[in-house]
Amino acid sequence: MASRPPPTRTSTVRTQKTKQLTTGSRRVVAKRSNSSSGWGRRWALGGWLLLALWLGVEFARLPDVGSLRTQNPRTTALMDQRAEEALDAGKKPRARQAWVSLNAVAPHAVDAVLISEDARFYRHEGVDWTEVENAFEQSVREARLGRGASTLTQQLAKNLYLSTDRSLLRKGKELLIARQLETHLSKQRILALYLNVVEWGEGVYGIEAAAREHFGVPARSLTVAQGAMLAGMLPAPRRWLPAQRPESLRNRAGVIVGRLEREGRISAAQAREAQAELSRFFDAPSEPGYVADASAGS
């Protein structure tokens, strides 16, 4: 019986070299992979440390909001910004404001603002994470940036202490200040401050000044329709002016009236009356002095 020839030495050496090269390559790849993941972990850790450091510094520099429990601010960051913008444009700064208590504001006007800007105001602690999640899902669904999801407390923080820029750093400060406001002030005080400092037209701040500017009446005498219009102005308070009869304001005010009725804030009869008043108001010609005259007879 013929025996099989033994394997050649060359074949054995090549096989061994191939195994060595394969093993070596695996070791190099493993080292590179470990090195990459190690650097990734270092960068992530460094990022978190920088964030923690920034939060610590900014927390130490937070304004003292405790004084707002009993004192009304003489001015706000937004008012100062608008004054600077007016001067830069060669105009004289205008600031019309009159402080009033919540009791001096028509209840349905307060409800209209809450429904429009922060329906969950009494159920969150400064940040409405449910609304943030809804806004994020809307942005993903529509492939564009959607609503801002800022709570009334966050808007107050921005108005009092920050600027109108949209940077992430400003947003971070806004969140920190909003949490401080919720910690040191009652919900009613936060609401009162907001209603007295928020912008309602060029140089118009607070609901009392807004009611007199746009409708010629004090805040306590606002009708349901007028309160809905003021609430509807807030996303664009210097563009959606009642005197100009913008269709966007008409639509928003109508929606707000409908929500007030659905949530039991006004009766069905009040809702019908408010919708009829909106129709009369927006179908009327835009004339100087018409707003005050029309509201006086409402």
pLDDT at 235 over 50: yes
In angstroms, the Cα distances linking 184 to 56, 64, 164, 180 are: 19, 10, 24, 6
Choice among 6-15, 57-66, 117-126 with the minimum mean pLDDT: 6-15
pLDDT at 76 over 90: yes
Q: How would residue 165 be classed by pLDDT, with cut points 50, 70 and 90? A: confident
Which of the pair, 64 or 192, is modelled with greater confidence?
Answer: 192
The single-letter DSSP state of residue 199 is: B
Looking at residue 171, its pLDDT comes to 82
Tokens linked to 75: 């001015």
Longest Cα separation, the chain: 124
* 129-141 mean pLDDT: 61
Which of the pair, 86 or 132, is modelled with greater confidence?
Answer: 86
Which of the pair, 56 or 271, is modelled with greater confidence?
Answer: 271
Q: Using CB atoms within 10 A of its CB, is residue 83 exposed (0-12), middle (13-18) or buried (19+)?
A: middle
Looking at residue 42, its pLDDT comes to 72
Give the pTM. 0.74
> CA 256 to CA 113: how far, in whole Å?
9
Q: Using CB atoms within 10 A of its CB, is residue 246 exposed (0-12), middle (13-18) or buried (19+)?
A: middle
Domains recognised in the chain with CATH numbers: 64-296 (1.10.3810.10)
Computed on alpha carbons and rounded to an integer, the radius of gyration of the chain in Å comes to 31
Pairing of strands 204-205, 96-97: parallel
Which of the pair, 22 or 187, is modelled with greater confidence?
Answer: 187
* 248-267 mean pLDDT: 98
Compute the CA torsion angle 181, 183, 186, 188 (nearest 10 deg): 40
Looking at residue 40, its pLDDT comes to 65
Looking at residue 53, its pLDDT comes to 64
> CA 193 to CA 180: how far, in whole Å?
14
